[in-house]
Amino acid sequence: VQLQASGGGLVQEGGSLRLSCAASERIFSSYARGWFRQAPGKVREFVAAISWSGGSTYYADSVKGRFTISGDNAKNTVYLQMNSLKPEDTAVYYCAASRDSGPGMWQYEYDYWGQGTLVTVSS
């Protein structure tokens, strides 16, 4: 299974971006999905996750109220809508898929990872 993340770019503080992650196989209808990020010089951290059914979501405190994770099983794609972006949101964002029902916040719970897409927020 391959995951392809896209949608990153350069945005000004306060702006918005929507990241997408498409899977090469139809797994999202039964896999939990998550987004993680890694800022320069820092370890990769949890951002958001959604259960396989889409009925449950979970967010890191740092993005709660600003980011929204959603899934479109028909398109086999998971999204991360990011609003009110801050310079500290600058990072490479990774999508991931888990065979567990989710939503999980731990990296070891995830079986497949995308290649990452860079988000840069300027002040």
**pLDDT per residue over 2-57, tens digit each?**
999 999 999 999 999 999 999 998 888 889 999 999 999 999 999 999 999 999 99
Question: How big is the chain by its Cα radius of gyration, in Å?
Answer: 13
Range 78-90 average pLDDT: 98
Per-residue confidence band for 58, with pLDDT thresholds at 50, 70 and 90: very high
DSSP string for residues in 58-111: EE-TTTTTTEEEEEETTTTEEEEEE-S--GGG-EEEEEEEESSSS----GGG--
Residues 6+ apart with CB under 8 A from 50: 32, 33, 34, 56, 57, 58, 69, 70, 71, 78, 102, 103
Only one residue has tokens 């299974």, namely: 1
Provide the pLDDT for residue 100. 87
Provide the pLDDT for residue 108. 95
Provide the pLDDT for residue 73. 87
Identity at 85, one-letter amino acid code: L
Q: Is the pLDDT of residue 89 over 90?
A: yes
Residues 6+ apart with CB under 8 A from 79: 18, 19, 20, 21, 69, 70, 71, 72
Residue 46 Cα distances to 12, 35, 82, 92, 105, angstroms: 23, 7, 14, 12, 6
Provide the pLDDT for residue 27. 83
Residues 59 and 47: beta-carbon distance below 8 Å: yes
